[in-house]
Structure 1
Amino acid sequence: MNKTNLKNLIRPLVRELHPYVYGEQPKIKGLVKLNTNENPYPPSPKVLAAIKNAADGRLRLYPSPTAQLLREKLAKLHGCHADNIIVGNGSDELLALAVRGFVEPVGQASSLSPSVKKELETGKMPVLHSSVVQYFTPSYSLYPVLADIHGAAKNAVPLKSDFSLPSVDELKRGGIWNFNAALTFVTTPNAPSGRGYQTSELEKLCRAQRGVVILDEAYVDFAKENAMKLALKFPHVLIARTFSKAYSLCFQRVGYFVGNRELISALHKIRDSYNVNGLGQIGASATLGDLKYYRANFKKIISSREWLSRELTRLGFRVFPSETNFILAAPPRFSAKEWQRKLRAQKILVRWFPFAEVKNYLRITVGTQVEAETLMKAVRKFISQ
């Protein structure tokens, strides 16, 4: 069979997809890696010990299919029941499950079951735009990819010029926002800008939405406040969290949702049978037993973030206020893309995005204070040229 015929074996939708673009992961000695928002500090010694101790005969066994122990510990932390929580292979898996579980692919929305159609006709179920995945821009670039994979419609609505959230009234006047969208993603704090949002403004938006709302709090441990209470207050709101950014477990891939039991139960139906590896479950559970260690790291990262923001501002960068472990900055003199190239030549990686809203900015992960000072030394060198 020739290559042309092989293409015909692939679904047309898949043939046309544009995959998610990952941050660069090069193997370069002496690299200062400030491009993928990883925590610069290692996991707690207690976490490392727990993972090492688990590398024994248990490796031949399947892990808990529901991450039961981890869910119980998370439930205690958040003041809810384990049935309000689902754990995933990183929060990315759960974001994908949400699209699969709550959104009808375009063309299939008309093929609803008779019982659902009856509920719609009698007014017992709100009329949703059941094929719509909605999100603000700029935000996590995985959202449109997940919608495309599922064959869903996308509704991308711009944030304000300073990356703040439009109010509900502004969204109504704008006429673009869909208050009946089947699924709405809100990244809070926002990525890639780092802008933090108040729980009160998120609550107003959640109250106005009729479909499922996911508040993606991947960076919330570096923010002034979180919106966890909204997942326990509104039945249609889910909170997404991860152990990657704040808890130094990117390698293990563990994330979770908190929300209404009925929504969580629906996601359990469509997840893989053993979707979270055993060592990841053990590492995440041990993390919850040493939160004092991580909270000390949060303070160090926030301190370095504020120092780096001030230093870059002094040199002419336009730096947006951040409530994450990264900053977004518009550089002087050269284009952002050129700055990214120059820094890479000095073995310093930062992130540049080609998207219209942020193409004039660099996203810079907050590393250790030593890494921040290394970055600033290179920046001063380029400024003086």
Structure 2
Amino acid sequence: MSYFRAAVDATTGYIPGEQPKPGTKIIKLNTNENPYPPSPDAIKVLRTIDSEWLRRYPDPYAMDFCLAVSEVLGIPADWIIVSNGSDELLNVIIRACAEGSDRPVVYPMPTYVLYKTLAALQPAKAIAINYDQSFQLPIDELVAAKGAVTFIASPNSPSGHIVPLDDLRELAQRISGILVIDEAYVDFAEYSALSLVKEFENVIILRTLSKGYSLAGLRMGFGIANPQLLSGLFKVKDSYNIDAIATLVGAAAIRDQAYKNECAAKIKKSRAKLTSNLQSLDFTVLNSHGNFVLATPPEGNAEQLYLQLKAQGILVRYFKQPGLDDKLRITVGTEQQNQTLLKALQIKVIS
């Protein structure tokens, strides 16, 4: 007899991108971390943490961080819920809203595979609707699936495309469940869907400090929605899910918009250059609004190329699944990292 629920036994579990040990000499372009350091303001706060903050339990609502978000985004503090990375909020939302086949989880594919994993663990029925080759949002199919929760990543990973606001607005109007707009990569995009939380009571926007703010190791995310929607999520989240250090460091980081925007601008410039350089090597590259690109090698030998790069100390992301198994997702690194990658690819493509 198993110790675990049937849903746990039946689920493979989410497999994150490879994380080498600290100090390993490697160019890491596989998990979409920001290649630049966090805000100096955040580091300053980290170095001056009072031990009293460690002795006591943290604020269960991370209000210092909520107030910082409120100042920056112009959203009332009670419209914000803070989480241990935005991944925790995905889990909280599914636990609060989805169940069995009557309350399914719906999402277009390809997208972030954790949506599927968390639904399976609930367990809740997962309904995947395929994007077409143009990545037009399949609104009618998503509505027909009648999800208790519908996840839309915009910008999306691994494709990098962004969903037009009018499409998101139509979807929010037509579905009966919650629409979760996952904006993990919004700091590298041209627009946000943030305004929709004021238009629709069933919309929640998710953000993270992992990408634009270079704080993937801090595990800090947040959601924005009307207080009535958040009230159910607060019942499900852990009491003290955000530690005192993350609250203070995260607040300092999000207030330093000038630094974040400067780093994001450098990444967007490098993204355009990397795309052009890959295309000159006959890669097919989708237009990306994230800090990564999805590239198809000229001969479609993505897995072989992934392994060859890994042997040279360069990690990129390979997805062994239909529709993606001929592609590589490549995080935009520093200019030096990108050029090292391109040099390695040029040798392999030529040979």
TMscore range, shorter length = over 0.9
Give the superposition deviation at 1:19: 0.4
- Spell out, residue by residue over 1:1-28, the C-alpha distance to the aligned partner (whole angstroms, 9 max, x if none): xxxx4x2x32222111110010001237
One-letter amino acid of the structure 1 residue matched with residue 98 of structure 2 = V
Q: Secondary structure at the match of 2:318?
A: coil
CA distance in 2, matches of 1:340, 1:81: 45
In the alignment of these two chains, the number of paired residues is: 350
Residue pair 1:179, 1:211 contacting (<8 A) in 2 also:
no
Please list the CA deviations of residues 175-200 of structure 1 after superposition, one character each: whole Å capped at 9, or x if unmatched: x7535311100010111010122212
**What letter is aligned with 1:251?**
G
Shift in Å, 1:55: 5.2
* SS of residue in 2 equivalent to 1:95: helix
Counting only pairs closer than 5 Å after superposition, residues 195-274 of structure 1 correspond to structure 2 as: 195-274=161-240
**Distance in 1 between residues matched to 2:52 and 2:242, nearest whole Å:** 18
Alignment check: 8 A CA contact 2:68 2:255 kept: no
Please show how residues 1-385 of structure 1 align to structure 2 within 5 Å. Answer: 5=1, 7=2, 9-27=3-21, 29-54=24-49, 56-106=51-101, 130-166=102-138, 168=139, 171=140, 177-178=143-144, 180-333=146-299, 335-385=301-351
Q: Distance in 1 between matches of 2:198 and 2:328?
A: 36
Which residue is 1:110 aligned to? none
For the residue of structure 1 that corresponds to 2:217, the secondary structure is helix
Residues 168-225 of structure 1 show CA distances to partners (whole Å, capped at 9, x for unaligned) of 3xx25xxx75353111000101110101222122111211111100000000110111
Deviation at 1:71, TM superposition (A): 1.0
Q: 1:161 to 1:334 in 2, by over 3 A?
A: closer
Distance 2:254 2:294 in 1: 30
Q: Secondary structure at the match of 1:54?
A: coil
Q: Residue 127 of structure 2 contacts residue 145 of structure 2 at CA under 8 Å; is this kept in 1?
A: no
Shift of 1:72: 1.8
SS of alignment partner, residue 230 of structure 2: helix
Show structure 1 runs of 5+ residues with no match: 107-129
**What amino acid is the match of 2:92?**
L
Contact 1:179 1:208 in 2 (8 A): no
Name the stretch that deviates more: 225-234 or 47-56.
47-56
Please give the TM-score of this superposition, normalised by the length of structure 1. Answer: 0.88
Distance 1:344 1:55, change over 3 A: farther
> Structure 2 length normalisation: TM-score?
0.96
Question: Which protein is bigger by CA-based radius of gyration?
Answer: 1
| Structure 2: gaps spanning 5 or more residues | none
Q: Distance in 1 between matches of 2:64 and 2:53?
A: 16
Deviations 1:76-131 (A, max 9, x none): 3222221111000011111111011112334xxxxxxxxxxxxxxxxxxxxxxx42
Name the counterpart of 1:120: none
Consecutive aligned runs of 4 or more in structure 1 exceeding 6 Å deviation: none
1:299-349 CA-to-partner distances (Å, cap 9, x unmatched) read 000000000000000110000000000000000235100010111111000
Verify the 8 A CA contact 1:134 1:178 in the aligned structure 2: no
Partners of 1:287 and 1:366 in 2: CA distance: 21
CA contact (8 A) 1:164 1:195 kept: no
Q: Which amino acid aligns with 1:359?
A: D
Deviation, structure 1 residue 289: 2.2
Percent identity of equivalent pairs:
39
- Give, as a single letter, the amino acid of the residue that structure 1 aligns with 2:192: N
Which SS does the other structure have where 2:330 is aligned?
A: strand
Distance 2:157 2:44 in 1: 33
Aligned residue for 1:71, secondary structure, equals helix
Structure 2 CA distance for aligned equivalents of residues 158 and 318 of structure 1: 20
Letter paired with 1:105: G
Letter in 2 for 1:215: I
